[in-house]
Amino acid sequence: MRTENQFKVPSSEIDARLARLQTELQAREIDAMFIVQRVDLFYFSGTAQNGFMYVPSDGEPLLFIKQYLPRAEMESSVRSIIKINSIKDVPGLISDYCGRLPATVAFELDVVPVNDFTFYRGLFPGSKFVDGSPAILQLRRIKSEWEIAQLQNTAEMTRRIFEYMQAGIRVGLTEMEFAGMFETYARKLGLGAGLRVRHYQTEGFPWHVLSGKNGGLVGLLDAPASGSGTSAAFPVGAGSKKLRRNEPVMVDMGSVLNGYHLDETRMLAIESMPRRAMDASLAAIEIHDSVIDRAKPGVTVGELFEHSVRLAAKLGYTTPYLGPPGHKVSFIGHGIGLELVEPHILAKNRNQTLEAGMTFALEPKMVYENEFAAGVESVVLVTESGSRLISKVPVEVFIC
């Protein structure tokens, strides 16, 4: 039985998403979409139970559940939820409900493994197969008011987590111990156990704690180099270095609540921060604020990237901005929502334009090789006339 405070996606959200998907399928002359990826399944059905979803371009969508039907029925407002013992039952059920199998069927070809796709293709003999991922990602890029509210809920959780960090950081803790402390606290607030990412070469990791020289390791931006993490086999997160007074500490934390992600970075220090690191941190904040001021519908992501680079140069930070020479990254942010990294990427030479309802994580950072890193990251909403922060953590350097 559903309790009063149990999270559920409203039926109006599911209906609107499915209607938009069917409109998109019709425009692309695709008869149906066969959804298998867990996040997309949740987006269009409201449940992430083990199953598959068949969305015809016209008519009633079908949700096939292998495990666990009672929970799927509780969570999803899709009207036709069907228990199956095997995916091999699906073609016959589609024919029974829809009268025929589709002539053209779309799959999430950006994420479905080749072996799985080969099997799924065998379920639809005679059908033409196309990539449905662009249609799905295009729909998911614009967040509804309800989704924005979910991101704001996550932001409130992370505000409390960063407050806990400020109160709990102390000399002698290792980076890993400090990270474990605030993750334990975060779990009490509802932090999900894992971050969802779409690319098979990317791993979602909830926190990076990089103090002093560990922040200056090449490869910091989004994938800290071996030495900052626990081992060469898993070179991310936090390491065994102990926190000290008067050194910069970068905390880059990904978080998720009820499926909706935030990705935020703030700089901390115990007692004081060296002037050079403080100045670099404040410059990153100035770039961060200036990009947000410029972000509005119609502006391209490439324009925002180039503006940040020009401002970094004006402030005197060309060398460390976005990584040391020879190791710079070519982006300053990424879309975010039900997955940690979503379109668009705020990158060099990209001409995609911002639209109202888009959300992105903005992360201008500096890396002084073998010295320290400085930066900031916040989640931003594009509005009808500009943009505003979803993140609720103060955009400042925390001296604890």
**Mean per-residue pLDDT over the chain, rounded:** 93
pLDDT digits (tens, 9 = 90+) for 69-120: 999 999 999 999 999 999 999 999 999 999 999 999 999 999 999 999 999 9
Tokens of 152: 């704001």
pLDDT over threshold 80, residue 21? yes
Secondary structure of residue 217 in the 3-state scheme: coil
pLDDT digits (tens, 9 = 90+) for 237-265: 888 999 999 999 999 999 999 999 999 99
pLDDT digits (tens, 9 = 90+) for 150-166: 999 999 999 999 999 99
pLDDT over threshold 90, residue 32? yes
Residue 5, pLDDT score: 60
Q: Determine which of 123-127, 223-227, 327-331, 342-346 has the lowest per-residue pLDDT on average.
A: 223-227
Residue 225, pLDDT score: 38
- Who has greater pLDDT, 201 or 377? 377
Rounded to an integer, what distance in angstroms lies between the CA atom of residue 2 and that of residue 10? 14
Going by pLDDT thresholds of 50, 70 and 90, the confidence category of residue 220 is: very low
pLDDT over threshold 90, residue 182? yes
Residue 217, pLDDT score: 75
Going by pLDDT thresholds of 50, 70 and 90, the confidence category of residue 227 is: very low
Going by pLDDT thresholds of 50, 70 and 90, the confidence category of residue 176 is: very high
Name the amino acid, one letter, at 398. Answer: F
Residue 104: CA count within 13 A, CB half-sphere: 10
Which domains are present in the chain?
11-139 (3.40.350.10), 142-399 (3.90.230.10)
Going by pLDDT thresholds of 50, 70 and 90, the confidence category of residue 128 is: very high
Going by pLDDT thresholds of 50, 70 and 90, the confidence category of residue 205 is: confident
Residue 270, pLDDT score: 98
DSSP 354: P
149 burial via Cβ count (<10 Å: 0-12, 13-18, 19+): exposed
> CA 44: distance to chain centroid?
18
Name the amino acid, one letter, at 26. Answer: Q
Residue 231, pLDDT score: 65
Write the CB contacts of 174 (distance below 8 Å, at least 6 apart in sequence).
Answer: 238, 239, 240, 241, 242, 243
Buried b (16+ CB within 10 A) or exposed e, 238-262: bbebebeeebbbbbbbbbbbebbbb
pLDDT digits (tens, 9 = 90+) for 342-369: 999 999 999 999 999 999 999 999 999 9
pLDDT digits (tens, 9 = 90+) for 316-344: 999 999 999 999 999 999 999 999 999 99
pLDDT over threshold 50, residue 1? no
3-28 average pLDDT score: 91
202-215 average pLDDT score: 87
202-227 average pLDDT score: 69
186-214 average pLDDT score: 89
Residue 44 parent element (H or E): helix 38-45
The pTM assigned to this predicted structure is 0.94
Residues 142, 24 contacting (CB under 8 angstroms): no
Residue 292, pLDDT score: 98
pLDDT over threshold 80, residue 221? no
Buried b (16+ CB within 10 A) or exposed e, 186-222: beeeebbeebbbbeeeeebbbbbbbbbbbbbbebbbb
297-314 average pLDDT score: 98
Residue 218, pLDDT score: 52
pLDDT over threshold 90, residue 232? no
pLDDT over threshold 60, residue 4? no
